[in-house]
Amino acid sequence: HLRFLVIDEADRLVNQSYHNWIGRVVGAANEASIAAWTDLQRQQEEDSNTAEGKHSVIAPPVEVSSRGNSFKIDPITWRRGGASGDSSEFNTNNAFSSVVATVCRPVQLRKLLYSATLTRDPQKLASLGLINAKHFDAHQLNSANHASEQGRQQRYSMPSGLSEYTVECTAEQKPLVLLALLLDQISKQTSSEEEDGNGIIVVFTSSLDSTHRLARLLQLLWSALGHGPSEAVAEFSSALTQKQRSSLMKQCNSPDSIVSVIVCSDGMSRGMDIPSVSAVINYDVPSFAKTYVHRCGRTARAGRKGSAISVLKGGQVTQFNRMRRLIDHPNRVVADMGIRKDLVRHAVPAYRASVKVLRKVIQAESNNDLNTVEPIPANWISASSA
């Protein structure tokens, strides 16, 4: 029988029912076969005919299912006991001590919910069916001055190993600024003596279409500029099937992975489980603090260090600062970190050629001449480097 129910990204269940998933799981946990109930009743009758069995076993309130082949016990689940006289935690009730291998005392199902942005609104949490709920904040548990944390407990928190930066540029400069940031991060990983995984960089965009177009552009640029094969840049979005996404995650977690950059949409960010992400780049700035927290949560995990870089256009600085103030320690963001222009000084011709090839790629995908998840043909890539 189910004893512990562990739910990650629990805030999603607050906002979406997912076909009453929590209700179905709890219902199944509290359901037992009609045969077990019959065994218990027969045991009671046998015990009542013995001198030692004059005690009574209290029958729990039950509801027989409409199918007639099972019954439900709510809100607890009943466990099977061991041999007669068993004093284990599952058979400590004296009234049940003589019941052999049948239903024993009730044990309440325990739910453990995990999320970086879980609400504490009682009305929203009611849908999860919590009983005597307790809230634990990992940042408060690790804080030396817990009292000072109480005043900030309504804010979101960030990993202690995370470094945050912003870069300002124009809309036209963004692709080359992104390329410079990627090359800079990779060069730092290469020169660093610390080995912390394969150092994958995750780039977030605001839409599925932006994710795909940016991934294709980076694939063309990556190969055209001689930084590696186009497969070093991968797309992780709902355009991929579940099997393809699982295969990509397995590849990224492999020591022999060639993937250096993943372009990801917000809708798929929580399905990404790569412990070795070294940096997150917000190519499109999120509008909500909750989204920013979950994006940054892809790096600096489990005590590791990581970086979060947000690429801002001129009019987005005020918006970003307002959003960041909703999260703990807003002053630790390093404004306008600057970029290494020398890394992309000679990339402008290749960038312009890649943009032209990108139009050809998108058109071929629209005409079903090229699958959206297939590698770009080699002759097209060579055209972008011409």
pLDDT digits (tens, 9 = 90+) for 326-356: 998 888 898 888 899 999 989 999 999 999 9
Strands of the sheet with 63-64, listed across from one edge? 31-33, 70-72, 63-64
Distance CA 382, CA 386 (A): 6
Q: In three state form, how does the secondary structure of 160-180 look?
A: CCEEEEEEEECCCCHHHHHHH
Half-sphere exposure for 363 (CA within 13 Å, toward CB):
7
pLDDT category at 12 given cuts 50, 70, 90 is confident
366 vs 8, higher pLDDT:
366
H/E element holding 188? helix 174-191
Q: Which of 176-185, 287-296, 377-386 has the highest mean pLDDT?
A: 176-185
Say whether 322 sits in a helix, a strand or coil: helix
Q: What does the pLDDT average to over 254-267?
A: 90
Strand runs (DSSP E) across 89-185, as ranges? 103-107, 110-114, 162-169
Full-model pTM:
0.70
Strands of the sheet with 200-205, listed across from one edge? 162-169, 306-313, 277-282, 200-205, 261-265, 233-236
pLDDT digits (tens, 9 = 90+) for 112-140: 888 877 777 777 777 777 878 888 877 66
Q: What does the pLDDT average to over 263-282?
A: 84
Say whether 380 sits in a helix, a strand or coil: helix
CA distances from 110 to 22, 23, 122, 209, 329 (A): 13, 14, 18, 41, 34
Q: Percent of the chain at pLDDT above 70? A: 71
For residue 233, list its beta bridge partners. 261
Token readout for 282 is: 């917000």
Is residue 176 within 8 Å of 284, Cβ to Cβ?
Answer: no
pLDDT digits (tens, 9 = 90+) for 83-92: 444 444 444 4
